[in-house]
Structure 1
Amino acid sequence: MKKQLIKFLLTIIQVVVDINIVIITFGAFVGLIFLLAAPFTGVGHAFFDYRSGLGLTIQVLDVVVESVLTVITLLGTRNLLSNINDGQYFVDKNMRAVRQILWSSLLVLVLGSINTVVFHLLHVQDKLSLLTLSGDDFTNGLGFVTVIFLIYLIFRRGIALQQDADEII
């Protein structure tokens, strides 16, 4: 009963992750459309701090890059959930998935931090609140990356122990 409940919960979480992948991918696609249309229309003014065509283009590209990195994180999460749901715990596929989650999350944190500094220095407003990080956002992101790094270390050690056990048998 307990195994079935865990399998059911992992499946539900995997469905939620799949829905998020679709939503964020759609958002990145819409962002690309904004990138192509915004310099020629007033559409971008409602969503971005428009000071120049270059500034608008950089902001829209930034949203698209962060969306792509988030989708990469979600795909790694989906792969990890799928493998664990199939009973594969300490295998190389999970190590690659955790590494994928770690690096894409770290890049989102670094990109958001750089955006925060640059936007502040240039007095650019983040109208969507997607590009910059508040103090809490940075702290939460740093905590998330730290937890993922610890999970990475646990998986690395678990794979090493699994390989030792397989060699003994």
Structure 2
Amino acid sequence: MNKKINSILLSFLEIVTYIFSGIFAIATVGLIVIGLEKIFRVGTLYKEFISDFISKSVDPGIKSTSMFSVLVLLISILVSIIIFFEITVFIRRIVKNLKHEIYFNFDNLKNIRWIMYSAAFFLILDVLSKIVFDIVHLNIFYTSWSEIFVSALVFLGIYVIYLVFKRGVELQEDSDSLI
């Protein structure tokens, strides 16, 4: 009974990762197309784009409608989408291994390590964007220090899971060498 439920849940997780990968792929293509169109188009649409995304996010009294702000916004969103896409790919690989009852092997350890690297990169980008946007008084992404703290906790949780899997791989190799 438990095997059947685990199999159903792992199949569901695999389907969810495929759905998220598709959503992130569509979002990436859409962002690139819309971003390029907004950057290179001159006139009212450019001004609307600036007023929608930038002027609402700038501190009162400071007018910043530069192309730099638009580029930072688009690049930040693109990098975030790519990081989330990578994480879903690595999670899908782990889920496939778990469906085949492969738990503590080097592939799972490698996938968890890459998830950890992605989370660390995302955390670093969050901290840098918070510092830079505080300096230039922009709130394109309203990231508070408490959200960064939560991201740090998530990273530490992933690191603990990585250490557990690393020890599991070592024990599995030890067990395999004795048999």
TM-score by length of 2: 0.85
2:31 touches 2:74 (CA, 8 Å); kept in 1?
A: yes
1:34 touches 1:44 (CA, 8 Å); kept in 2?
A: no
2:125 counterpart SS class? helix
Cα 1:35–1:9 change in 2 (3 A) is: same
CA distance in 1, matches of 2:99, 2:153: 26
1:135 counterpart (112, 126, 145)? 145
Q: Report the equivalent of 1:125.
A: 139
1:17 touches 1:78 (CA, 8 Å); kept in 2?
A: yes
CA distance in 2, matches of 1:96, 1:44: 41
Runs of 4+ in structure 1 off by over 6 angstroms are none
**Structure 1, 8-17 or 35-44: larger mean CA deviation:** 35-44
Check if 1:20 corresponds to 2:20. yes
Q: Report the equivalent of 1:156.
A: 166
Q: Report the equivalent of 1:67.
A: 81
1:83 touches 1:89 (CA, 8 Å); kept in 2?
A: yes
User: Higher Cα Rg: structure 1 or 2?
Assistant: 2
CA distance in 2, matches of 1:84, 1:160: 18
1:145 counterpart (145, 150, 155)? 155
Unmatched 5+ stretches in structure 1 = none
Q: Report the equivalent of 1:29.
A: 29
Check if 1:55 corresponds to 2:69. yes
CA distance in 2, matches of 1:101, 1:132: 24
**Bigger RCO (CA 8 Å, 6+ sep):** 2
CA distance in 1, matches of 2:171, 2:54: 51
1:88 counterpart SS class? coil
What is the root-mean-square deviation in Å for CA atoms of aligned residues? 1.6
Cα 1:132–1:17 change in 2 (3 A) is: farther
Q: Report the equivalent of 2:106.
A: 92
CA distance in 2, matches of 1:132, 1:107: 18
